[in-house]
Chain A
Amino acid sequence: MTVGTSITRREGYNKLTGRAQYIDDLSFPEMLHGKTVRSTIAHGQIKNIIFDPAFDWSVVTIADWRDIPGRNIVALIEEDQPLLAKDFALHYAEPILLVAAETKEIAETAVSHIKIDYEELPAVFSIQDSLKSSVRIYGENNVFKKYVIDQGDVVEGFRESTHVIEGEYIVRHQEQLYIEPQGVIAVPREDGGMTVYGSMQCPYYVHKAIKANMALPDDRVNVIQTVTGGGFGGKEEYPSVIAGHAAVLARKAGRPVKMIYDRAEDLAATPKRHPAIIKHKTGLDQDGKINAVEIEIDMDGGAYATLSSVVLSRAAIHALGPYKSPNVRIAARAIATNTPPNGAFRGFGVPQACFACELQMERIAKQLRIDPIDLRRNNLLRLGDITATGQRLDYSVSAEQVLDQALEHSRFYEKRDLYERQRKEDPDSPTIKGIGVSLFMHGAGFTGSGEDKMKGQAGATLTKDGRVKLLTASTEIGQGTRTIFVQIVASEIGIPIDLIEMEEPDTSKVPDSGPTVASRTCMIIGGVMQRVARTIKEALTEFVAERFGNTSIEIKDGQFVDSEGKSLIAFQEAAREYQEVRGALEVFHRYSSPPGIKWDDDEYKGDAYPVFSWAADVIEVEVDHDTYETTVLNITTAQDIGRAINPVLAAGQVEGGTLQAVGYALLEEVVSDKGRMLNNSLTNYIIPTSVDTPEIHTILVENEYPFGPFGAKGVGELPMDGPAPAIAAAILNATGVLVNELPITPERLEKSWRGL
């Protein structure tokens, strides 16, 4: 069986030879190049647009909001964001006008000859200012969304507690920094429709957005995902914006229009991870058991709602981490500011919540002088326990198992003792070492009733030559979708992987599997794929049984065999004959939740996710006493992702997510002035290079989930959640200083260390 083996990436050959066609590698006859004119202020009224008469405007196509044939919205959860600003700009870099020309250079020159006059209005740039200010960005109070999760009685819980400990945690923007910037090409169709090619995670999101902008029916819009050079959530919602822009220009010019952002524009204008302020209050009994928890989360959503409500919801549900408490109150708000909208980024609210939760555990351990490992072990969730939303954990609960594995493989206790000894023996050493732990979990799939509403669809058909062709809008963005789906189907049917191919991700050819987000592709759509494969197997088995007059047959290694193992007919031949006799075979299934899953959207209670993945990180650091620089020496991570369909690809997810989180912890900082990103360049927005990267030791713990395909759960986001607090814990271990803000730059560590 191919599931559980590390077959090589299906599209690997094309990626390794330079043949893979990314969006900027494509070209169409008569194609123009589009650019965006953006707001240069954070908040104001657009008064006048001046086109410099010195420029020859006949050589370009200009479009503004009046050129949008349909609705001037970015069709997401809410409809507050215009595709092109009409009267007001609510944030720096908000799109106002579009320009298309024969070359990029002409389009850029044209943009530099457009001047926009504004009447500037007061603006707010922080959560605190937004809540106090009279500036109105959204609704009556600048609050996009609010959730409260309540369990037990926190007032009583704190009253009964022996210790009550409070802490505040602050996290900031992080950029996804896919190495391929955002890009699309819109091609007008002869029937008046629009074809959009692009770098994206969710072709059907773009499909929905273009239909709204262009006032076109379903069948007049098709969206094709090109090979995509990284997403990490950054290509979840934003492609709907750039695709809308290209389509408006293409419609007006009557020609294909390519829009590719350069890095500076991509960094300045596109969504980032939500900054947040998170407050914890924890009550514990005399044995160090948590008795009451109160958590407040305030997230900065930016100027428009985009996906903030769902990011916030996931943060709130994960706020207590993998721990239990009889009394819980979690209050979470997403707040509007005059900054570019924040959006989806791997982890989707959990890295923020997890940083706060895990550092609160460290704070408690420090104040009560108990071992942080014992504190965690004393409070972690076990099989049958109840989470803050009232979910009973019936399957695949591994908090203690991953913790034990990470401690053992990293030789945690031995190293902690060693570093402590070294610090005592050589107190004047310019560098000090420390070791820290984080324990965390991540719900796979959409939150609450999301998957039941989405009913993600996938299918397969038989090709004329007797192969199985998979039909899905779940995209390959580097994580391995195209490979693991083939493995799941091959293993379920019992055929070699070369008998399986995949339809291209074109909305006119594949069903809506839902977006490629939320660690849902393997577990949710992979599960649908397994059912599709089972139906195909059953149909062909029944056909072959009838033909050979033998009902005890099965498929082995691509052959139908009888009960004695004698080969009757090859799968491929049977699939060809099936179609000759019975016609085409096309199978579709939709996702439906496993039995017993219940969620109440109004009360925010119930089974928040079908199942959780679990992980523990042990991270060793060296802190320089003179420069306050932190170097990560070693990372050991144990991650229970259920069955690993392809262990090399799964470990690749873990390592990549872990390093992205090391960047979040130590390096990556968006520096802004009045809502404008100042370091919108790879020269000074720093992500980890190979020399910043420690050895990452990955242990895949495979606690199978009975309702996932072959026992698989989610893996994509989990590794992003834990490293930042583990690094902060290691710095605390080394220095005795708890830094409650990210990123832990030398400046910030110095401030905390010297008590400035």
Chain B
Amino acid sequence: MRIGLTVNGQKRETDAAPMKRLLDVLREDLRLTGTKEGCGEGECGACSVIIDGEVVNSCLVPVCQADQSTILTVEGLAENDRLSWLQQCFLECGGAQCGICTPGMLIAAKTILDSDACGSRSAIREGIAGNLCRCTGYTKIIDAIERAVIQNR
């Protein structure tokens, strides 16, 4: 079927089987490979994207359900090749190590940043609970998001 998406502010169209995973459409059809697959069953969050303001695991979304939606992926975070404030905090606090969970983690963090949540460390923990990281022990990811939230105000 013909699928229309607004991805990172750009209108994109592609032909895809309706049940094809949104993850595969992003990675294969649109060549946006920043979104990663870690488990394919919605447990690890490496494939997190924002659809119409909500964080979802794109490995669990058939593309037909995302037709005509607005999607933000990791590629849409930087502006004119400059890291966003959130990305800059991850860089400086050591929030990325191997980097494979980073795209999904940034997407989850962005929703924390955009929400009116208080930004306490426990709220941040809850906000990224759907995103597994095996490198950092989460400490520096939480440091980065905390800093982004505090200095964003």
A residues adjacent to B (C-beta < 8 A): 6, 8-9, 11-22, 24-25, 176-181, 227-232, 262-263, 477-480, 648-649, 651-652, 655-660, 681-683, 687, 689-691, 693, 695-696
Contacts and interface: CB of A to CB of B under 8 A. Distances in A.
Contacts of A176: 134
A18 B106 CA distance: 10
Interface string B1-34: 0000000000000000000000000010000111
Q: Most chain-B Cβ atoms within 10 A of its Cβ — which of A176, A655, A658?
A: A655
Contact of B98 (A178, A655, A681): A178
A227 B99 contact: yes
Contact of B134 (A16, A232, A683): A232
A31 to B, nearest CB: 12
Interface string B105-127: 01000000000000001001110
Given A229-B98, A655-B137, A25 B33 contact: yes
B94 A651 contact: yes
Nearest to B87: A16
A11 B100 CA distance: 13
Nearest to B131: A690
7 contacts: A16-B74, A16-B77, A16-B83, A262-B40, A263-B41, A690-B126, A690-B131
A18 B32 contact: yes
Given A18-B33, A229-B98, A13 B83 contact: yes
Contacts of B48: none
Main secondary structure of the interface of B (DSSP, over half): loop
B34 A19 contact: yes
Contacts of A689: 129-130, 132
A24 B37 contact: yes
B35 A16 contact: no
Contact of B91 (A13, A262, A477): A13
Nearest to A693: B138
B43 A683 contact: yes
Contacts of B132: 179, 682, 687, 689
Contacts of A20: 99
A682 B43 contact: yes
Contacts of A9: 91, 94, 96-97
Given A178-B134, A179-B100, A263-B41, A696 B92 contact: no
Contacts of B121: 695
Main secondary structure of the interface of A (DSSP, over half): loop
A681 B132 CA distance: 14
Contact of B128 (A478, A480, A690, A695): A690
A262 B40 CA distance: 8
Contacts of A15: 96, 99, 102
B38 interface: yes
A695 B27 CA distance: 36
A179 B83 contact: no
Given A16-B83, A690-B141, 16 more contacts: A14-B99, A16-B74, A16-B90, A17-B78, A22-B33, A22-B36, A179-B44, A179-B100, A180-B100, A230-B97, A230-B100, A478-B98, A652-B97, A655-B140, A682-B41, A689-B129
A14 B132 CA distance: 20
Nearest to B46: A179
Contacts of A687: 132, 134
A683 B37 CA distance: 15
A687 B45 CA distance: 13
Nearest to B108: A690
Contacts of B150: none
A683 B38 CA distance: 12
A230 B94 contact: no
Contacts of B93: 648
Contacts of B130: 689
Contacts of A178: 98, 100, 134
A696 B100 contact: no
A477 B43 contact: no
A673 B40 CA distance: 24
B73 A16 contact: no
Contacts of B126: 690-691
A681 B93 CA distance: 31
Contacts of B98: 178-180, 228-231, 477-478
Contacts of B39: 263, 681-682
Q: Most chain-A Cβ atoms within 10 A of its Cβ — which of B43, B94, B131?
A: B94
Given A17-B78, A18-B75, A652-B94, A478 B41 contact: no
Given A263-B38, A652-B140, A656-B136, A16 B33 contact: no
Contacts of A648: 93-94, 140
Contact of B44 (A655, A682, A693, A695): A682
Nearest to A26: B33
A231 B35 CA distance: 20
B139 interface: yes
A181 B41 CA distance: 14
A179 B93 CA distance: 21
Closest 8 CB pairs of A and B: A18-B34, A229-B100, A478-B98, A15-B99, A655-B137, A659-B137, A478-B97, A682-B43
A236 to B, nearest CB: 15
B73 A18 contact: yes
B137 A17 contact: no
A658 B137 CA distance: 7
B50 interface: no
A649 to B, nearest CB: 6
A305 to B, nearest CB: 27
Nearest to B93: A648
Contacts of A479: 97
Nearest to A719: B137
Nearest to B24: A104
A478 B99 contact: yes
A691 B129 contact: yes
Given A6-B94, A9-B91, A18-B74, A696 B33 contact: no
A32 to B, nearest CB: 15
A178 B137 CA distance: 13
A479 B93 CA distance: 14
Contacts of A231: 98
Contacts of B37: 24
A657 B134 CA distance: 9
Nearest to A661: B137
B74 A17 contact: yes
A179 B97 contact: no
Nearest to A16: B87
Nearest to A14: B99
Nearest to B77: A17
A16 B91 contact: yes
A185 to B, nearest CB: 14
A690 B138 contact: yes
B137 A180 contact: no
B106 A263 contact: no
Given A24-B37, A689-B129, A16 B106 contact: yes
